Amino acid sequence: MKPANQNEIDVLLRSLARRNDRVVSAPLGSAEHLDADELNAFAEGIVTERARSRYSAHLAECDDCRAIAVNLTQSTGFAAPRLAPDVTPSPSFWQQLSGFLSYPVLRFVIPAIVLASIIGIGVVALRQDGPGEFVAKHEPTQQPNMDQANQVVPSQSPIPNELNAPAPSTQPVAGNSPAEARRGESAGSVAGVGPSEAPAPLQKQSDDQVSKATPTFAPDLSAPAEAPAPAPAYAERDRAQPLREEAAKKGADTEQFSARPQAKESVTSNRAATTVGAAANEPKQQKAPGLMGARRDNEDKDKNKTDTSEREDTRTVAGKRFVRQNNSWIDTAYQQRATTNVKRGSEQYRALVADETGLRPFAEQLGGEVIVVWKGRAYRFY
């Protein structure tokens, strides 16, 4: 029906309501009315469907009983548990699904899916081609360093010793996988050459790449198998280069790939960039273990912080355990279900805590929003 037609019916109904007279019914104790037990069952939503229909028929005609039912619903909010404002009910899901599969939607969705598939195939193809292009593009720049690295590789074991780094810490890492072997190679080679011996332009480039590429390496470098050993080896050097580390952190935290104009063409996905970085940008690996160590430290700190916050975010009140989530204290017994929403200080709140005195400690001892499961119902205080 058109909105205008609805407005007309709306006006008619309002007019009808204005001329309605309250029907004076029999005393409420008489048989024609719903008794207190039935009214309460209706308001608490615990009647069978047939009984609900029967009660509704009476309530539609009886102003007095309807007023009581409204009063009961509003004072205790008991009807609310039947509501599901935040949870999509399953019937509507199927309705949505059937609506989604209807022709008017599908005629747009199918071309969109086809288009997305083509784009996806293209992306996959680019990802496969990406590393080769990247290596090719950077090969001339990397070549001198690669040569140096190749020359130094056989003697990489003693070189870390000169840097007071434990040799085995690099060796096992290098032996883990081909990619990690290359990292080990690069770390050893750069260490062998030494910061002072490295060509200045290359050093600058590698620094830039480290700062920009670090986010892509972060997942691999923080892998448990290789994380522990290299960290102490390069910690001292990393301390001497706080700016690089800071830049790397900044890149890791915020910039991701957006601040990589030079390497943009090589970045088709995180994984591709990781592979490319591991294969071609070997000099930057000299920073990686240190960064990894710093990152690991940060992760440890974060973990400790999380542990602490977990302790801080868990409270036990009157034998119930609450976890803080998004500024809300949520009963650990709470599962996704509709809640009875009760505002502190409202008449409904006073009525509820008068009826269920056991709820008062939760509402009063926990600040902000509190969701507590009480006698099979979930209440939300706010």
Partner 1 sequence: MPSKTLPSASRTSRRVSIDFTIADVGPQAVSHKLEQLDKLSAEGAKRLLARAADDYGVPVTSLQQRIKATLQKHLLRDEDDASPAVITEFVDKLQADDLCLIVACEQGNQRAWDDLVERFSPTVRSAARGASSNEEAAEDLAQSIWAELHGLRRGEDGQPTGKLAYYSGRGSLAGWLRAVVAQLAIDQHRKQSRLVQTEEDADFDRIVQSSNQHEWSGREPVVNPEDQTSRKLAAAEMQRALANAVQQLAAEDRLLVKLYYFDGLRLKEAGAVLGVHEATASRRLTRVHTELRRQVESVLMNDKGWTKSETDEAFSKFAVGLDTDIEPLLAADNVLTKKENEIAG
**Which parts of 59-118 interact with partner 1 (CB under 8 A)?**
59-60, 64, 66-80, 82-85
Q: Which is nearer to partner 1, 8 or 147 (CB)?
A: 8
- What residues contact residue 313 under an 8 Å CB cut-off, 6+ apart? 323, 324, 325
The three-class DSSP label of residue 340 is strand
- Rule CB under 8 A: which of 344-373 touch partner 1? 347, 350-351, 354-357
Instruction: Return the ∠ at Cα 122 (arms to 118 and 127), rounded to 5°.
Output: 150
**Does 154 interact with partner 1 (rule: CB under 8 A)?**
no
Angle at 260 between CA 256 and CA 263, to 5 degrees: 120
Q: Is residue 27 part of the contact set for partner 1 (CB under 8 A)?
A: yes
With CB under 8 A as the contact rule, which of the stretches 1-9, 124-132, 229-237, 248-256 interacts with partner 1? 1-9
Query: At CB < 8 A and 24+ separation, what contacts does 370-376 make?
Result: 370/322, 370/328, 370/329, 370/330, 371/328, 371/329, 371/330, 371/331, 371/334, 371/339, 372/320, 372/322, 372/331, 372/334, 373/320, 373/331, 373/333, 373/334
- Mask 294-333, x = binds partner 1 (CB under 8 A)? ----------------------------------------
Check residue 137 for interaction with partner 1 (CB under 8 A): no
Q: Is 336 in the site for partner 1 (CB under 8 A)?
A: no
Within 29-58, the residues that bind partner 1 by CB under 8 A are 29-31, 35-41, 43-48, 50-54, 56-57
Q: How many residues bind partner 1 (CB under 8 A)?
A: 74
Name the residue nearer to partner 1 (CB basis): 276 or 359: 359
Query: Minimum distance from CB of 322 to partner 1 (Å)?
Result: 24
Residues sharing a CB contact under 8 Å with residue 244, sequence separation 6 or more, in sequence order: 207, 210, 211, 238, 287
- Region binding partner 1 by CB under 8 A among candidate stretches 4-12, 234-242, 252-260, 269-277: 4-12
